[in-house]
Amino acid sequence: MSLNLTLINKKLKDKSPEEIISWAISFAKNPLITTNFRPYEVAILSAVTEVQKDIKVIWCDTGYNTAETYKHAEETIEKLNLNIHLYTPKQTTAHRNVVMGIPSIDDEKHVLFTEQVKLEPFSRAMKEHQPDVWFTNLRKGQTSFRNSIDIVSESKDGIIKVSPFYNWSDEALDHYLEAKNLSNEFTYFDPTKVESNRECGLHI
């Protein structure tokens, strides 16, 4: 799909998340959302399913989530009646803990670890579902890479990525969740990032 991203982002700059989502859904043939149920993910899950209730929600679970995250995920799935498609690593966490553990970012094994727990399940999901539009909750200010994109961008595979809350602050999202009566959960762990300002690898 060929889109003038500069023009589109200029037009969408002051639009609401609902308007941005509706714009993308209007031409999408096979849209989906990816989620890991990290803090504030519930905002995009709610916003997108309000526009298209049965949209596919791809959950790539690393196997290292906190108990709080798993509880939050179950509650959110039930409350929003999400059309969940779950993807997990091919090797169990228990097995990996014995043979590798969680390597530090300086350990040469960290690349393999990231491939196993995050990149491979994600690639498998995208290959199976072949989306043309991909909704994400990327926001400006999260990482240097994310500061370089915009509301609408394009992945290296040509998928149109739409981030309806791109210009929203945590405070604005707090008000949004309160207005929608949606719960948030901050006890979250990403074993591949370690540092909060590191890019996770799925979006570059």
Identity of the amino acid at 187: T
Q: How do the pLDDT tens digits run along the chain, 204 residues long?
A: 568 999 999 999 999 999 999 999 999 999 999 999 999 999 999 999 999 999 999 999 999 999 999 999 999 999 999 999 999 999 999 999 999 999 999 999 999 999 999 999 999 999 999 999 999 999 987 666 667 789 999 988 899 999 999 999 999 999 999 999 999 999 999 999 865 544 455 555
**Residue type (1 letter), 121:** P
> What's the rounded Cα separation, in Å, for the pair 159 and 135?
10
pTM equals 0.89
Structure tokens that stand for 193 in this block: 């990032």
Structural domains of the chain in order of their starting residue, each with its CATH number = 5-12+21-180 (3.40.50.620)
Other C-beta atoms within 10 Å of 182: how many? 17
